[in-house]
Amino acid sequence: LVVVFSPLPRLRGLLQRCWGRLERGLPPGFFGGQSPPWGPALAVQAPVCLPQPASGTGESSEAPGLLDSILWMAAPKKRRTIEVNRCRRRNPRNLIKVKTNIDVCPECGNLKQKHILCGYCYAKVKAETRLIRMEIHKKEGGPFNAPTVETLVLYDGEKPTEKDEGKRIIERARKRPSWFVQN
Amino acid sequence: RWLASSSFVPQSCVHTSTSLQTTRKWEKKNRIVYPPQLPGEPRRPAEIYHCRREIKYSKDKMWYLAKLIKGMSIDQALAQLEFSDKKGAKVIKEVLLEAQEMAVRNHNVEFKSNLHIAESLTGRGTYAKRIRYHGKGMFGIMKLVRCHYFVKLVEGPPPPPEPEKTGFEQAKEYVQQLRSRTLVNTL
């Protein structure tokens, strides 16, 4: 990425002004053009009359301001050779590590990570849940109509038993999937 | 790196002409036909070359994935790529599955699991330059990078990994090298 510095009069102008002031023996001042809060330097007349080297020493007693940090920015001294670059990019720290926690899902036979649910089985359950939710939505017919009783999902050819008395029934027009256990 | 042009140094560093055409040699490698093998020769394992061109990804980032699967069996490589979080992993997985399919259909490979990855490389694709707008009216020129991915599948189980050289081995080799030095240009 190459940043083109063509239209930046502000920084250049600031630098030119600061250099001009340094040559004249005055302190460079801050970014906003405010007067520097130098109590001791202003009280003693010597730094103002002395030539440039003294103003250089007077400057160093001050805490580094914004301009100092600009002039003292870290920059690379030499171009990093391709050999050095390769050593950094290819050392084992940066290579991708081989995963040893991949297993086979006992249900569907796809691959899964040991601590994560099988993606295929999860997608299967998700699809069925979505259809059940669509049925619920059709039955409720709008928001905020959820009943205060339990919901029971029945597939083809199933009847509610005695203990499923007060539950709301959701019908699904297909065979019960093997993984959906009936209570 | 400080190469001179041909007029300055006659021997080496000669600027030869570069062509503007892209070479598509990897696709042609599938077309070589060997003469029939003699009855006594060991069976030559099938080699399948496949590649995908102009993938919208960086060649350096793709290289890490290519280095990961180099030398693995195809099943292990597919497993590793399936659970990798990188964008290039999905692309390489598709390429491997395509190559496996090609192997079984066209290249007379009996078992689709009996393949291993002999070579896997990345190459630079064509780059496009675009402007990236910064603040204060400044701009930078950014490159839209693309890469190619090449893979060579060979039939058979993956070769066993080379045992790492111990320090003692390396020291022994060094001493051997020192001992085998002779005097040059003398009687």
Residue A70 is assigned to a structural domain of this protein? no
Identify whether B12 is part of a domain.
no
In a domain, B154, yes or no: yes
- In B, minimum Cα distance to A118 occurs at B83
Among residues A181, A154, A150, A155, which one has the least CA distance to residue A165?
Answer: A150
Is residue A100 assigned to a domain?
no
Chain A hits for B79, Cβ within 8 Å: 99, 102, 111
Question: Which of B60, B68, B141 faces A98 most closely, judged by CB atoms?
Answer: B68
Handedness of CA B163, B169, B171, B175 (dihedral sign): negative
Q: Are B78 and B95 in contact (CB under 8 A)?
A: no
Closest CA to B29 of B147, B154, B122: B154
Range of the domain at A160: 111-171
Look up the ipTM and state it: 0.79
Among A98, A104, A105, the strongest candidate for a mutation testing the B interface, having the largest count of B CBs within 10 A, is A98
How big is the A-B interface in CB pairs under 8 Å? 43
State the amino acid at position B98 in one-letter form: E
Asked whether the beta carbons of A128 and A146 are under 8 A apart, the reply is no
Contacts of B139 in chain A (CB under 8 A): 4
**B47-86 pLDDT per residue, tens:** 999 999 999 999 999 999 999 999 999 999 999 999 999 9
For B137, nearest residue in chain A (alpha carbons): A7
Domain presence at residue B5: no
CB A57 within 8 A of CB A46: no
CA atoms within 13 A on the CB side of A125: 12
Q: Does any domain span residue B1?
A: no
Domain contains B168: yes
What tens digit of pLDDT does each residue of A152-179 get?
999 998 899 998 888 999 999 999 999 9
Q: Is A126's Cβ below 8 Å from some Cβ in B?
A: no
Tally of structural domains, chain B: 1
Domain count, chain A: 1
| Domain contains A138 | yes
Task: Say which residues have a Cβ less than 8 Å from residue B122's Cβ, sequence separation at least 6.
Answer: B59, B62, B63, B66, B147, B148, B149, B150
pLDDT of residue B120: 97
Given B68, B84, B138, which is nearest A3 (Cβ)?
B138
Output the CA–CA distances (angstroms, integers) from residue A176 to A46, A160, B126, in the order listed. Answer: 97, 14, 54
Token reading at A22: 């340094």
Flag whether A47 is in a domain. no
Domain membership flag for residue A62:
no
Chain A residue at shortest CA distance from B77: A98
Task: Check if A98 contacts B (Cβ < 8 Å).
Answer: yes
Q: What is the domain range of residue B92?
A: 44-177
Q: What pLDDT band is residue B3 in, cutting at 50, 70 and 90?
A: low
Residue B15, CA distances (Å) to A75, A178, B12, B21, B23 in order: 34, 71, 9, 18, 20
Look at residue A5 and tell me if it is in a domain: no
| Residue A21: per-residue pLDDT | 66
CATH of the domain at B146: 3.90.470.10
Instruction: State which residues of chain A have pLDDT below 70.
Output: 1-15, 18-70
Q: A88 — contact with chain B (CB < 8 Å)?
A: no
Examine residue A34 and state whether it is found in any structural domain, yes or no. no
